[in-house]
């Protein structure tokens, strides 16, 4: 199968690219490298340095490759950046998605949209949150992702397409930047391994659904093979508090954790976990990696010097 991965040099995108490549698919990556790393890509993968916001260039590349499937992971993913610059966030996450859908329509390709679960459902959603819950995002990022999903649904109705949406929980794993502003797992792992006390904002009881990147990638493969339009949550269904996460990292590393506490961040979601029964039923997918095992893989990657080509 000919597959294009937008954002394929990113954290999750590079793992998705590797997975399709490993099973023999014909792979190309579209990435403007504004956040992606060239070193994450296998030498066999062709890279097209194009932004999904550039419709003309995107159409030219997609028209030349004629993929059967486009995994769309190119996005602006920083929630705080979306608050400060909502128009730029919408340009990347809404207009970029429309451009991908239009390019796909020109070559009759399916699109598999990488969306979000944690930023979508909102503070009043039941836990774990079902796909049928009305999204009430708390950030421009969540709003933009919800809007992108609506365009996917529209193209399925308007153009009889078979596009798919995967709402990912909080994905973590090797290749996620431990010096970044987001990605609590690698940040905490790096700090604890280095003997630095991690900072917890608020009381530490806020929860997240933490899914290992290898499991998230398996969901992309499953959705690609099912050819089913629709929306599926991809997570563990388990709430993990920030305090609990820090303690697990301490156990894995053998370093006792004494966190520092700082004031809660305004608007931070207090609880998040995704209901995953639908993905198990329809896609035959479920998360298999336990939290301690996933954290161990992240710690080993950090101790190895955070290589770009670390396995999932």
- Asked whether the beta carbons of 287 and 215 are under 8 A apart, the reply is yes
Q: Which residues pair with 262 in a beta bridge?
A: 201
Tell me if residue 141 is catalytic: yes
Q: Which of 121, 141, 151, 172 is catalytic?
A: 141
Phi, psi of 169 (to 5 degrees): -75, -160
Bridge-partner residues for 201, per DSSP?
262
The tokens of 117 are what?
Answer: 């679960």
Query: Contact 257/194 with Cβ under 8 angstroms?
Result: no
**Token pair in block for residue 179:** 């010096």
- Exposure of 120 by Cβ count < 10 A (0-12 exposed, 13-18 middle, 19+ buried)? buried
Which residues form the catalytic set?
141
């Amino acid at each position: 199968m000919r597959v294009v991965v937008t954002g394929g040099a990113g954290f999750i995108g590079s793992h998705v690219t590797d997975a399709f490549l490993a099973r023999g698919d014909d792979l190309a990556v579209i990435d403007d490298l504004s956040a992606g790393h060239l070193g994450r890509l296998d030498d066999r993968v062709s890279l097209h340095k194009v932004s999904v916001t550039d419709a003309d260039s995107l159409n030219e590349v997609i028209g030349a490759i004629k993929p059967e499937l486009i995994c769309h992971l190119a996005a602006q993913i920083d929630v705080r950046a979306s608050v400060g610059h909502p128009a730029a966030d919408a340009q990347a996450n809404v207009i970029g998605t429309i451009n991908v859908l239009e390019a796909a329509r020109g070559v009759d390709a399916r699109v598999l949209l990488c969306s979000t679960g944690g930023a979508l459902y909102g503070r009043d959603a039941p836990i774990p949150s079902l796909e049928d819950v009305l999204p009430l995002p708390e950030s421009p990022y969540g709003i933009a992702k919800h809007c992108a999903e609506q365009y996917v649904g529209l193209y399925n109705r308007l153009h009889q397409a078979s596009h798919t949406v995967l709402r990912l929980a909080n994905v973590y794993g090797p290749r996620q930047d431990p010096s970044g502003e987001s990605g609590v797992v690698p940040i905490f792992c790096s700090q604890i391994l280095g003997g630095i006390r991690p900072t917890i904002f608020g009381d530490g009881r806020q929860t997240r659904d933490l899914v290992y990147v290898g499991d998230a990638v398996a969901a992309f493969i499953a959705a690609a093979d099912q050819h089913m339009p629709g929306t599926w949550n991809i997570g563990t269904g388990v709430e993990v508090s920030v305090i609990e996460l820090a303690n697990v990292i301490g156990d894995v590393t053998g370093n006792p954790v004494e966190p520092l506490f700082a004031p809660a961040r305004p608007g931070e979601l207090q609880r998040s976990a995704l209901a995953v029964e639908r993905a198990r039923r329809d896609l035959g997918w479920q998360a298999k990696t336990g939290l301690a095992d996933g954290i161990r893989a992240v710690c080993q990657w950090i101790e190895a010097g955070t290589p770009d080509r670390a396995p999932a």
